[in-house]
Chains A and B, each alone.
Chain A
Amino acid sequence: MPTPRTRLSDRRIATLALAALAWLTACERPVGCTGDYCGTLVIATAGEPDILLPVVSEFSVTRDVADRLFLKLADVGPSGNTSGDEDFQPQLAERWEWDAPTTLVFHLDPRARWQDGQPVTSADVAFTYDAYTDTLVNSPFRPSLRQIAAVTTRDSLTVVFRFRQRYPEMFYDAVYHLRILPAHLLRELPRTQWHSAPFGRAPVGDGPYRFVAWKAGESIEIAADSTFFRGRPHIRRVIWRFTPDQTVAVTQLIAGDADAVEVLVSPDNVQRACAEPQLACYPYKGAAYGYVAFNLAAQGDTSKPHPLFGDRDLRRALVMATDRERLLHNVFGDLAKVPPGPMPQLWWIWDPEIRGLPDDSGQAARLLTRSGWIDSDGDGIRDKDGHPLSFRLLVPTTSAVRRTYARLLQEQFRTAGVDVQIDEVDFSVFTERARTGRFDALIAVWNSDPTPSSGFTQTWTRGGFGRSNYGRYDNPDVDRLVDQAVVSAGSRDQARRAWRAAIETLNRDAPGIMLFATSNVAAFHKRFADVTIRPDSWLAQLATWRVPADRLTDRDRVEH
């Protein structure tokens, strides 16, 4: 029989439980949004923005968020064409015209407003250009604006861009990287402090979404601006959830904690996500390619050739000794293609007909033998003048893809009589050694803009020395052809021919082994309709995505 004290405890517990229940029920969030403008998109992503000030950050997730908050003057259209201005779509500028071959005039939309109510003016555009080109701000996009001589205002809604010369992608250069910033909020901030400006953690923009909250290490939330002058977006809230890696992001998607993942990356993840009945997969062209870069210069003295890779025939033999299709199939399955040169699938110059060296181990062996590399001591490794054909391959520990490729390459080269030692180092060390030329060969991955004009120049021409041309590949013919394609080509066809000639010349020189060009697959919850993806910026057409009224879930309806 219970004692009075026990009965009292029971009563107390029951009262507390009832009170707690009443408290919880009373504090439930109201669930009420109906119609075509509800919808909440939760994106799981590996990585977090460093700062939401687009002028100082080039992280892809920063761009994803910032491009919803800040408008460009115009943006690349669905075709992805970056030449001329025909395929571009207005954003902040309602129209534009060419006053002269090198003078471009934008007319801003008078309806545009900053989210604090101030109008967006031409002064904001001029201020933005000044900030992007200021060495104190040190914007990563500054080199892309070098052909723009000046940006001036004509009146409060008219802004004039003057270029140094005429070239096919001058419009692209004027609009693609510049996210217009609010001069009235940033003018007083010393430029040296922009990299850590408080504005970058609570930005005020002029785009279709306004900033709501940033919980460090956890999430960022933005909400549709119902007064946006180009029309209210259908998806009302967008939330990025930060995860430590892509596998956790995919797990959150499958478990229903997230609605979308930008890239599933591995065949395993694609299989896991696309097999889920509630998810839909969207393949699109990738912006990345991976390659082995040979160091053509001696370590420690870049004026001298590398003892192995200074020899063009040896490089050509190694390229031909690589069965790239087999490697690719082992690592990516169907999620990548062997590139016809140093290019991602995204680039408009992608053409499988571009000539390269064949994957031909027989021809490779003959070339090595003809060059004097033979296995004189029967140890399975070719040698010449007493030196074994051996080199070290540098890869970052953070990349499972590159580590796998390194092992597979090691095995393929071993059968060709070439000894490869793998150096796995953490990413910071990898980058430092790459930049300072302290490697024989490395596996690099290049994530690119939608055009080859900047990426190719930085990676494979003399202009990339000290930047991303890690192997110091230098062929004046390639530089000249690239210059022709970027600057002096009169039409897209002429540019395409120049690019093709440059790449075929590079392929003959074999400064590296072009291993893979990725194909991306995004995954979404099936309640999202009208999803279209522009490969260079997967959320570019977010404003047209929606959740039909009959597919709304509590997640979409909840009010705050």
Chain B
Amino acid sequence: MATWLVRRLAASIAIVFAVVTITFFVIHAAPGSPFLPAESQHLTPETLRRLSTEFGLDRSLPEQYLLFLRNVVRGNLGQSFALRRPVADALADAIPNTFTLALAALIIDFALGLALGIYQAVRAGRVGDVVSGNGALLVNSMPVFWLGLVLLLVFGQWLRWAPVGGLSNPVLCPRLDSPACGLDFLWHLTLPALTLGLVGAASTARYQRAAMLEVIRQDFVRTARAKGLRERRVLLVHALRNALLPVITLFGLAFPFLFTGAVLVETVFAWPGMGRLAVNAIFQRDYPVVTGAALLTSAMVVLGNLIADVLYAVADPRIRVRSETA
């Protein structure tokens, strides 16, 4: 297991390194300049040259890359051109917000997806299965940003059941320093998390239904029922554990979806996370922020996949045995 983990960790680091390297060269190759963000700027050509020198952009690209790598190793992600603050500070502000959103969406995704998948499998072929299955397909077919806009319009603007954007009410809760403000934060989190979570849940439910259907027809389930166990215990304890493997794979795959989906959801709901930060940085050619965001996002996605692999091994002893004997 330890050898396997070390191998996976090494592969993960290599993947992150590749992503960051590609991002670095692609964003530098993109046309446009980081110092020309507005038409009415009074920047003279001399000033532009001075800024380029100050930020090291007058050096060759390989030189800039080596400098970037050296700084990253030292834990320095550089200074944002547009935000006028260290990249690490900007990311530190944004990461918890994206992480919270992704986590909430993940909980909705898997709680709802698993429950719906089990329900559909148990009721396979009946009205409940057909209606919920088509409903899930409909939600799964919607672009995330469009679903977000619909939820925002219906529950935010028309019904006014939920706030239409931001992390919290800036008047009543400028800081998260009271339980009421904690609830206010959760209230603000509802629509963005639902948007991301619902789309994921629709997909998870389809996988879970198929896996569950396969398992509940197997002999050991029939045996459990024959032993007189209650149906709930048969399904949730005996069948579910065996039907979880494909869903754990899905868990690993959910991370890239959550982070790319977060870009759109954060924009629709004015959620100040990594997605919005990265998109703005790309438009502004804020190279240090783009590469910093790529570094962190890829690290989180790789970590998510690693966790999924570990969970897979925990859920299926056969995998553990194979890796230990390999």
- Give A residues with C-beta under 8 Å from B: 20, 23-24, 27-29, 40, 42, 50-51, 58-59, 138, 140-143, 192, 195-196, 200-201, 212-213, 215-219, 221, 237, 239, 241-245, 248, 251-252, 254-257, 398, 425-429, 431-432, 434-435, 444-448, 455, 458, 466-468, 554-555, 558, 560
Contact = CB atoms under 8 A, between A and B. Distances in A.
A40 B272 CA distance: 23
A226 to B, nearest CB: 19
B226 to A, nearest CB: 25
A217 B40 contact: no
A397 to B, nearest CB: 9
Nearest to A20: B179
B94 to A, nearest CB: 7
Contact of B82 (A50, A212, A245): A50
A138 B39 contact: no
Contacts, number: 165
B19 to A, nearest CB: 22
Contacts of A219: 166, 170, 174
Identify the 6 closest CB pairs spanning chains A and B, nearest first: A217-B272, A428-B32, A431-B36, A27-B178, A216-B93, A429-B32
Contacts of A201: 85
Contacts of B156: 251, 255
A429 B54 contact: no
Contact of B272 (A242, A245, A444): A242
Interface in B109-142: none
Contact of B167 (A218, A426, A444, A455): A218
Given A50-B83, A248-B165, A243 B270 contact: yes
Nearest to A195: B84
Contacts of B174: 212-213, 215, 219, 221, 560
Given A217-B272, A218-B166, A218-B167, A468 B39 contact: yes
Contact of A29 (B37, B180, B283): B180
A444 B40 CA distance: 10
A558 B83 CA distance: 32
B276 interface: yes
A23 B179 contact: yes
B12 interface: no
B268 interface: yes
B41 interface: yes
B272 A237 contact: no
24 contacts: A40-B171, A58-B38, A58-B40, A196-B79, A215-B167, A216-B90, A216-B94, A217-B272, A218-B272, A219-B174, A241-B165, A243-B165, A244-B268, A245-B267, A255-B164, A425-B31, A427-B32, A428-B32, A428-B283, A429-B32, A431-B37, A432-B33, A468-B40, A554-B172
B85 A467 contact: no
Contacts of A425: 31
A241 B170 contact: yes
B33 A428 contact: yes
Interface string B36-60: 1111111111010011001000000
B32 A446 contact: no
- Label chain B's interface by main secondary structure: loop
Interface residues of B, number: 58
Contacts of B183: 24
Nearest to B45: A466
A117 B311 CA distance: 59
B204 interface: no
Given A58-B42, A219-B170, A428 B37 contact: yes
Nearest to B32: A428
A431 B79 contact: no
A378 B111 CA distance: 67
A425 B79 CA distance: 26
A431 B33 contact: yes
Contacts of B170: 42, 215, 218-219, 221, 239, 241
Interface in B54-106: 54, 79, 82-86, 90, 93-94, 97
Contacts of B86: 196
B209 interface: no
Contacts of B85: 196, 201
A196 B152 CA distance: 36
A217 B276 contact: yes
A555 B270 contact: no
Interface in B143-157: 152, 156-157
B164 A428 contact: no
Contacts of A245: 267
B206 interface: no
Given A20-B179, A213-B174, A241 B42 contact: no
B82 to A, nearest CB: 6
Nearest to A59: B38
B32 A426 contact: yes
Interface string B267-303: 1101011001100000111000000000000000000
A24 B166 contact: no
A176 B80 CA distance: 29
A533 B47 CA distance: 35
B160 interface: yes
B163 interface: yes
Given A242-B270, A447-B40, A448-B40, 7 more contacts: A217-B94, A237-B171, A241-B165, A241-B170, A428-B285, A431-B36, A554-B172
A448 B40 CA distance: 8
